[in-house]
Structure 1
Amino acid sequence: MKKQWLGNLISIVALVVGLGVWIVLPWFAVLGIAVALMLWLFLTRSGRLSLEAAKIGIASLPQRWGASSVIVVGIAGVVGVLVAMLAMGEGFSATLKQTGGEDTAIVLRGGSQAETNSVISRDQVPLISTLAGVAKGKDGRALLSPELSQIVNLPTASTGEDANAQFRGVSEAAWAIRPQVKLTEGRKFNVGVREIVVGQGAKGQYRGLDVGKTLKLGNQEWTVVGVFASGDAHDSELWTDIDTLSSAYDRRAYQSVTVRTEGKAGFDQFKQAMENDPRLKLDVLTTRDYYTKQSTGLNTLIKVLGTVIGTIMAIGAVFGALNTMYAAVAGRAREIATMRAIGFRGLPVVMAVMLETMLLALLGGLLGGLIAWVVFNGYSVATLGSNFSQVVFQFKVTPELLWSGLKWALGIGLVGGLFPALRAARLPITQALRAI
């Protein structure tokens, strides 16, 4: 009994390890396995016998479709939930990664991880503007924008409950530094006036942000004069003049400075000049690196949660597959015994049951991936970003995620079909034939 228990434990551990390896296999390795399997099925005697035996089982699926659908629906649920969870992280990460570029830099206080805990004094801005590598505008002035981020509460469009929004104060140079930001409605804000332009994502997320509307922020009235689109994280923000925002909220320092550099080489020059100036104890990152780092924590959390939830659901799907396939093997005991009696060895019988289970798993994986793509791809949501404000983004169901979901489906089918297949191969022929 101890040996049997130990053997079962080793088999389970081997299956778990094998399933983990299967999940992380690259596409070309999976393709190689599939090609090798196809060659074995069509070029060897055992393979051809397995194929013929599998055809018999597959032909009987319509007669037991109710039981077989348990496998398909269970695996479809696992794949759908897993892909949807990972698509959320993929969408959030993609939104932040496409914010900024290699030729723009963000300056923060030394050691600061985000704008919220950064402070840059006003007298440091002129020093920054004189550093090497800073691009100049048509007027010959340095293209840099000292900025301030204020968190404000706005009612959400869906429920009316208050949520955090990022109210950013920028200088006139911000438009030239971020050429991807384009006005779609109205006009730019005027300097020294309480006027706001809002991102198209923020307009859809919050109430009262139509052009011409008036908001009360910081106990003062602000007028929405325009809507802009940027296709990145700035779509979730409200913009106004930096000095007006500083005055309204009594902010005497800036939080960051965004700089247009003279290409990638200019960024390297700018960073080196910053490090060489003892008056500036500041950190410099490309805006792409900065926003990419902001997405890392949440994306990792979503991946871990998605994997944990997917694993829990996968265990349930495996048990469903085990029950269904055990019942199928028991119902086809005489048929399997007859095949064994006329010359089918154990390996073709095992492969026949496995091929049948893998086919059902493939159908479940395709169904789950299709549902995830139809329902969630492009679905807009908002979540808290690193600045404790809502970032509007879209779920992104990529081919890589669909491929990963399909591998999970086939892995579940592999585990769920293996033990019933081994039982089918071990059925006593004489005992099964007596029941005929």
Structure 2
Amino acid sequence: MRVPFQYIIRNLLVRKVTTGLTAGGMALVVFVFASILMLDEGLKKTLVNTGEINNIILTRKGSDTEVQSTIYRDQASIIETKPIVANSVDATPLLSKELVVLISLQKSNAKQQSNVVVRGTSTKGFELRPDVQISEGNFFRSGSSDIVIGSAIAKEYSNTNLGDQIYFAQRLWTIVGVFDAKKTAFDSEIWVSREQLMQAFRRKNFSIIVFRSTEKQSINTIQKEFDSDPRLSLDVKLEQDFYKDQSKALSKFINILGMTLTIIFSVGATIGSMITMNAAVANRTNEIGTLRALGFKKIEILTAFLIESIVLALIGGLIGVFGATFMEFSDFTTTNFQTFADLSFGFVMTPIIALKALIIATLMGVIGGTFPAFHAANLEIVDALRSK
């Protein structure tokens, strides 16, 4: 014979205030935990989805970022002749030689300036990345001081309307277009004519080379092909893998911060749950004695109170997960620890995150309810019935 589930629910409904406060504490912990996981998922989704899965990116040997990398013009000329490089529709190599630099821009809602990536590219850069589309205005003209900006730049920075001018590298650049990169890292960049950017920054060499491969070969095979040429001391990676690697340091920081906050809050919420359940046991001592007198065993009393604690925690967990889903309507901007440039990304809820959050809530319920449940189960029948 087990204690009816309706009995457990009735006791939660009778203590509306304490139930609400305890569930609220649980909800706060779950909300923080889920939000941190959503933030990490949003970061990974933004950087992993940056670039095309079939694109190969070349950087200088040992360079972790595009800004640190240098590829010489004679190396670029050799790479263009490689049979592994696919051709575009115009029979020219489907390859983009790019210069990547950092500049400082004024944010709309902040006093300080932030670092922004400026990418010198060409029409080939857009051809290699079909997901990057001009949403407003036009593409920059080759050889001009025109620039196109990502959608995140247009939202977050001052003087970023079409026709506005931005000053960097000792010249004015005119915004002629805004591009949408489908919420990838490119949305936080400015794109400009490569040759004009190289002149402005007095650079003779490129930062990276991106190309489409003619064959579906493994990265290791392509790396060996480049390593066999002593003139090409370069690292070879899939474009998506390259940007995915840039998320690791920031992702680690977010997870450490999130787990620290979750542990701190969960300790408080668990103690609150324990106090609530202890109070429930104290107020229902006579009732517990009656249940024992009716023939309910100790294990059944223990199970009933433990289930009550878990149900209370799950109510808080569901509220917390529901609240966290609204974070998907907001964006987050922080500094990418690899590039030191600002990166905009959103919160992303997944079924796995919701499940993890509810598991955390369940664990808090089990931990918070175990001691009070044991206490209730071990009350002597006579003493319990005599209590007032």
State the TM-score bracket (shorter-chain normalisation). Answer: over 0.9
For residues 343-354 of structure 1, what are the structure 2 equivalents within 5 Å? 343-354=295-306
Q: Which residue of 1 aligns with 2:44?
A: 93
Query: Would the aligned equivalents of 2:55 and 2:128 in 1 still touch at CA under 8 Å?
Result: yes
- Tell me which residue corresponds to 1:363: 315
Q: What's 2:156 paired with?
A: 205
Aligned partners of 2:304 and 2:204: how far apart in 1? 75
Q: Which runs of 5+ in 2 are unaligned?
A: none
Equivalent of residue 81 in structure 2, options 123, 130, 139: 130
The 5-angstrom pairing of residues 70-81 of structure 1 reads 70-81=21-32
What is the identity, as a one-letter code, of the residue corresponding to 1:146? Answer: K
State the alpha-carbon separation in 2 of the partners of residues 160 and 434 from structure 1: 69
Of the three residues 213, 237, 249, the one matched with 1:261 is 213
Aligned partners of 2:41, 2:98: CA distance in 1, in Å? 28
What's the counterpart of residue 368 of structure 2?
A: 416
In structure 1, which of residues 95, 102, 116 is the aligned counterpart of residue 53 of structure 2? 102
2:348 match: 396
Equivalent position to 1:152, from 73, 97, 103: 103
Counterpart of 2:340 in structure 1: which amino acid?
F
TM-superposition CA deviations, 1:45-65 (whole Å, max 9, x none): 4xxx13x2x532421333321
Q: Work out the CA distance in 1 between the residues paired with 2:135 and 2:89.
A: 24
Give the CA deviation at 1:401.
0.8
Partner of 2:251: 299
Q: How far apart are the structure 1 equivalents of 2:79 and 2:211? A: 9
Distance 1:169 1:384 in 2: 21
- State the secondary structure of the residue aligned to 2:160: coil
Which deviates further from its counterpart, 291-300 or 238-247? 291-300
CA RMSD, aligned part only? 1.6
After TM superposition, the structure 1 = structure 2 runs for residues 208-287 of structure 1, keeping only pairs within 5 Å, are 208-231=159-182, 232-265=184-217, 270-287=222-239
- Residue type at the aligned position of 2:324: A
TM-score between both structures, scaled by the size of structure 1: 0.85
Measure, in 1, the Cα distance between the counterparts of 2:254 and 2:63: 24
Deviation at 1:243, TM superposition (A): 1.1
Greater share of residues in helix: 1
In the alignment, the residues of structure 2 paired with residue 171 and residue 268 of structure 1 have an alpha-carbon distance, to the nearest angstrom, of: 28
Partner Cα separation in structure 1 for residue 7 and residue 92 of structure 2: 79
Whole-angstrom CA distance in 2 between matches of 1:270 and 1:312: 48
2:244 aligned partner, one-letter code: T
Find the residue that maps to 1:353 and give its secondary structure: helix
The corresponding residue for 1:338 is 290
- How far the C-alpha of 1:300 sits from its partner, in A, is 2.1
Show the counterpart of 1:429: 381
Matches within 5 A, 1:379-394: 379-385=330-336, 386-394=338-346
Q: Which piece of structure 1 moves more, 276-285 or 151-160?
A: 151-160
Task: Give the deviation of 1:303 after TM superposition.
Answer: 1.6
* AA of the residue aligned to 2:99: L
Structure 1 counterpart of 2:39, one-letter code: M
Q: Structure 2 length normalisation: TM-score?
A: 0.96
User: Percent identity of the aligned residues?
Assistant: 34
